[in-house]
A and B are shown apart, each in its own frame.
Chain A
Amino acid sequence: MNQQQDAAGWPLWEVFVRSKAGLDHKHCGSLHAPDSKLALELARDVYTRRQEGCSIWVVRSDQITASDPGDKDMYFDPMEDKVYRHPTFYKLPAEVDHM
């Protein structure tokens, strides 16, 4: 059995919620549901207690492409030894100095 389905053959969905005062959607968990509409309904009960003013996104897990942890060294090493990679040598005008 595909790991992304439950016993009833329902796919797995990832749930992202933006709370009332929140700025962005945060991943808060996953659940199994037969379709997107029901996934939304269920997410509302499981993750938000139907708080007003929050927004929910559901995405089928198999639609998400994730980076490979094995590539960490290659892509995400900050290269601290090569200071010229970081734009820190510019003298900024005083009025924008807090960038």
Chain B
Amino acid sequence: MQESIRVSQAPELRYLLRLGDLCLIHAQRLGEWCGHAPILEEDIALSNIALDLLGQARGVLTRAGELAGGLDEDQLAFLREERDYLNPTLVELPRGDFAWAMVRNLMVAVLLELLWQRLQESGDEQLAAIAGKAVKEARYHARHAGDWVQRLGDGTEESQRRAQRAVDQLWPYHHELFEPDPVDEAAARSGLGPRWAELREAWQQRMAAELRAATLRPGADSAFRSRGREGVHSEHMGHLLAEMQYLQRAYPGGSW
């Protein structure tokens, strides 16, 4: 059994891990759709999106590994424990039905589009280069998910019911994304990237417009705050990592 690695608490590293982990865990959940999408073409589209996100995760984790003092993307992905994963809770929740997956895709894609847009001006050249490529992908992901949310929300009575249920269940998890904290503060001051809190208004406006077009209403506000970005995860995260990391843990140092 391969030992876990610990990573430093340096704010710039945590900022990168939040972003890289978001892409990685979201890609893992989308990968679960392979062979299960409602139509063949959509199966391909979901896999494409997952592959885009995995590519983004690789870029960011590789950069994070350099900052962490010589770790590589595989070590970061396969040898960190749950508490050292810093993805927002939103992306680790189980894959749900198709409406659920599309609403989550939309929430994440809009966030990533806004983030990558700003990160193109990052003081870290490598991150800026990744962002330049990723922003185009995120734009496509947002359009794809937005189209589906609109079709489902404005579709049959059943699809409307399911889409609204997805919005209601996922909505409370968006607050976490925009909570101000010292990691974001440090990144903003050093020029590494924007505070996620700065994106809140743009995100809410985009989502409101998308939901309105889909005849859906935003979820109710609540005091609930998930804390995945601080490493405090839902009960789903451990299972996800157990499956994802199994092989590397069982056969340490294997190359593939």
- Interface residues of A, Cβ cutoff 8 Å to B: 8, 31-34, 37-38, 41-42, 45-46, 49-50
Contact = CB atoms under 8 A, between A and B. Distances in A.
B162 interface: no
Nearest to B42: A42
Contacts of B5: none
B140 interface: yes
Nearest to B144: A41
B48 A49 contact: yes
B147 interface: yes
Contacts of B147: 37-38, 41
Contacts of A50: 48, 140
A76 B147 CA distance: 45
A57 to B, nearest CB: 17
A77 to B, nearest CB: 41
Given A45-B45, A45-B48, A50-B48, 18 more contacts: A8-B39, A31-B41, A32-B39, A34-B151, A37-B147, A38-B147, A38-B151, A41-B45, A41-B143, A41-B144, A41-B147, A42-B41, A42-B42, A42-B44, A45-B41, A45-B44, A46-B44, A50-B140
B136 to A, nearest CB: 8
B159 to A, nearest CB: 12
Contacts of B45: 41-42, 45
Contacts of A31: 41
Contacts, number: 26
Interface in B132-182: 140, 143-144, 147, 151
26 contacts: A8-B39, A31-B41, A32-B39, A32-B41, A33-B41, A34-B151, A37-B147, A38-B147, A38-B151, A41-B45, A41-B143, A41-B144, A41-B147, A42-B41, A42-B42, A42-B44, A42-B45, A45-B41, A45-B44, A45-B45, A45-B48, A46-B41, A46-B44, A49-B48, A50-B48, A50-B140
Interface string B10-42: 000000000000000000000000000001011
B121 to A, nearest CB: 22
A46 B42 CA distance: 9
A10 B48 CA distance: 23
B236 to A, nearest CB: 28
Nearest to B48: A45
A38 to B, nearest CB: 7
A21 B41 CA distance: 26
Contacts of A33: 41
A31 B41 CA distance: 8
Contacts of A41: 45, 143-144, 147
Q: 3 nearest interchain CB pairs?
A: A42-B41, A45-B45, A45-B44
B27 to A, nearest CB: 16
Contacts of B41: 31-33, 42, 45-46
A8 B144 CA distance: 20
A33 B44 CA distance: 14
Q: Which of B41, B42, B144, B147 has the most CB of A within 10 A?
A: B41
